[in-house]
Amino acid sequence: MEKAYLIVGLGVSGNSAKNVLESRGERVLTADDNKPADYRIDEISNESFNYADIQAVITSPGFKPTTGFILKATQAGVPVISDVELAWKLHNENELTRSQVWIGITGTNGKTTTTEMTNSIMQAAGRHSQAVGNIGNPISQAGIDTALDTLTVELSSFQMHYTNSLELDCAAITNLADDHLDWHGGFDNYAADKAKVYNRAKKAVVYNADDERVTRLAMKAKEKVESEEAGEAEEVNKPVFIGFTLRNPAVGEIGVDNGWIVNRSELPTLQERLAPITSFTHLTEPDGTIYPHLLADALCALSLSLGAGIDTHVAISALQEFAPSGHRIETVATWHTSNGSVRFVDDSKATNSHAAAASLSSFADKSVVWIAGGLAKGSEFSDLIKTQKSKIRAAVIIGVDQQPMIDALKDYAPEIPVVLIDPETAETKPIMKQAVEACARLAQAGNVVLMAPACASMDQFVSYADRGNQFAQYAQEWVNTHVE
């Protein structure tokens, strides 16, 4: 009997991998604890399961490297791969899809927005492009779709851990901060998995020049390319290295100079000054203030697109028309009073300190009534509070894991008023409804009620999207019942 692929986890990506493999006549086995499958997870982790019959394990990225079945497969010499690795393998085996351009984006924050921006640029340029991967659209089917000539791929650190042969045309790391360290076993392992996107990149390596750790990874990749070029008789890929920065760019970078996006990279453009940053109206506050983290995402997407050969004017125009997807700095309600207005802003995607800091930093001092807290994932928030306390007028703490946030506020910003939403009261009134009402009582004209929790959502909500939707619902309800 031919060896089988073992797919562990039948979510969207797992089911897609199963369907693609079966359509090719491959033998497929499945394992899942929550959906109908051939095996339970404990069954493929015990000694009686025979890995000699398995040619590869395709694992959901949720399973840690220390999970029993992964250790057992590895000991048996069976490759454990991601759906991205599978997609790349199948893509390369298909003569009709080998010419697909693959653009990969990873990083701690900004991956989804940058992927969406890049995909918008590709489509504006006439490419048959799809945003896939960690963004929600499975990559295994897209990688063999002959109707697609370009894939913009969001890559999580989990996916990259189980991916080793990927050769992207253009690759980017948006930023790096402490995240998922328990899964990876420390920051160095986390960064090393992220850095795999630069391995064997063909056209462009894009890096955040304002992030020292990302810059080091890019320079290490550059040294490797230069070393391979000097040591190999055959031609090697020599991508252009492009740093993006919110500062005045140095040679080799794209950045901002005197209010203009400026290209000083090796990428050819008709002129150095490309566009005023004020022309990107979807990335700004109503008064025209640019959100720094969204501008950084735009510069990253621009660098990737130019590296892929897209016309500068097409790329700039697409970015000027781009609007971020839901739950990313999105005004969901506005309360108009006789003295001014209070805006309710949903940034539920800010699920860690790095993202929350970027969000808070976008607003004026003492203007933010902040909804924070949730599932802390072992994080501590001292640096977040120390650097952003000037922005916070008051804080409303939600979640079942409140103590780390309470401690940070008490230690580093005791002057900030804090309201705690007791998780035990959820049965009598929805948690987010309580939070919105508390914020509305604390807010004054000109303030922003910002939901950027710095924590995961799964303690009290289905997902960050559910958390954001509930915030929007109760904010709109409150505004509608408090018309002056």
Q: Is 59 annotated as a binding residue?
A: no
Q: Is 108 annotated as a binding residue?
A: yes
Q: Which residues sit opposite 418 in a β-bridge?
A: 395
Helix, strand or coil for residue 194? helix
Q: How many residues does the chain have?
A: 484
Instruction: DSSP for 430-477, please give it.
Output: -HHHHHHHHHHHH--TT-EEEE--SSBSTTTSSSHHHHHHHHHHHHHH
Q: Is 109 annotated as a binding residue?
A: yes
10 Å CB burial of residue 483 (0-12, 13-18, 19+) is exposed
Torsion angle defined by CA atoms of residues 239, 244, 247 and 253, in that order, rounded to the nearest 10 degrees:
20
Q: Is 66 annotated as a binding residue?
A: no
Strands 54-59 and 80-81: parallel
* Whole-angstrom distance, CA of residue 232 vs CA of residue 213: 29
Tell me how far the alpha carbon of residue 212 is from its chain's centroid. Answer: 19
For 162, other C-beta atoms within 10 Å of its C-beta total 23
Q: Is 67 annotated as a binding residue?
A: no
Q: Long-range contacts for 213-217 (Cβ within 8 Å, ≥24 apart)?
A: 213/176, 214/107, 214/173, 214/174, 214/175, 214/176, 215/243, 217/173, 217/176, 217/191
* Whole-angstrom distance, CA of residue 43 vs CA of residue 453: 38
Q: Is 174 annotated as a binding residue?
A: no
Strands (E), 94-169: 101-106, 129-133, 150-154
* Whole-angstrom distance, CA of residue 263 vs CA of residue 240: 14
Q: Is 107 annotated as a binding residue?
A: yes
Which residues make up each annotated binding site? Answer: 107-113
Which residues make up each annotated binding site for ATP? Answer: 107-113
